[in-house]
Amino acid sequence: MAFGDWVEMADRFPAIAYALNEEELNRFYEYLRKAGMLEKKEEAVAAYRTRRGFSVGEPSRKKVRLTMEGFKRCEELLAKPEQDSKTCFVAMWFGSEMDEIYEKAIMPAIQECGFEAYRVDRVQHNNDIIDEIIAGIKNSRFVIADMTGYRGGVYYEAGFATALDKQVILTCRKDWFDNGRGKYRRVHFDVNHFPFITWKDGELERLKGELINRIGATINGAKWSVRQ
């Protein structure tokens, strides 16, 4: 379907426009028509005869199409508000052994590039945790996902962000990336070919610098200078 095509009005399905009933849906159509965003027309439908000789016909078909003003308004509404977001959603294992890497490398790198780090376990809220995660990812400019610990939630959050066409920067502690630990295997083969930033304990400054370089090179609006 292209711009300018006529579309049959779905009077029988008012929920398509969050209308209470057909009457309210038609009021919506009329409002948009008067606002210059919609054109409306009716097409007569020819009657036909049944086997018993009765003349039967459907009601006239109502059709609508967007005007240029309506099209522009749709484009405005579909624009991604998170493009101006200053938030980076951080998905990672919340174990205490990861606190230092977050506080001294990941969070400072995000801040030095002009963004704010959002880690769901460090935000006060009264929502269901899943709702908070979904909203946090949707409202973020980009995501940093650390795969250390083989946490299913981190894979889910990175995948969800990817489906929303967000940039996802992947990091992982090198031992977990290469070998895993005990019953937990290393980073899954479906993602291990992506350009991970791997790190080791005690390499906080190196990780921070690499994150700054990656954010600056791939995220629009980042403030940065190349780190060696």
Q: What pLDDT shows up at residue 24?
A: 87
Tell me which CATH code domain 81-218 carries: 3.40.50.10140
Angle between helices 152-163 and 129-138 (to 10 degrees): 40
Q: What pLDDT shows up at residue 15?
A: 78
Positions of the chain with pLDDT lower than 50, given as ranges: none
Q: What pLDDT shows up at residue 205?
A: 95
Q: What pLDDT shows up at residue 162?
A: 94
CB 69 within 8 A of CB 36: yes
Q: What is the DSSP letter of 224?
A: -
Q: What pLDDT shows up at residue 113?
A: 95
Q: What is the pTM of this model?
A: 0.65
In terms of phi and psi (left: phi > 0; alpha: psi -120 to 50; beta: otherwise), the region of 78 is alpha
Q: What pLDDT shows up at residue 59?
A: 57
Q: What pLDDT shows up at residue 206?
A: 95
Reported as type and span, the H/E element at residue 49 is: strand 48-49
Structure tokens belonging to residue 202: 């005690």
- Give alpha helix (H) positions in the chain: 22-34, 68-78, 99-101, 107-112, 129-138, 152-163, 174-178, 204-218
Domain ranges of the chain: 7-78, 81-218
Which pLDDT tens digit goes with each residue over 69-97?
A: 988 888 877 766 667 789 999 999 988 88
CB 169 within 8 A of CB 214: yes
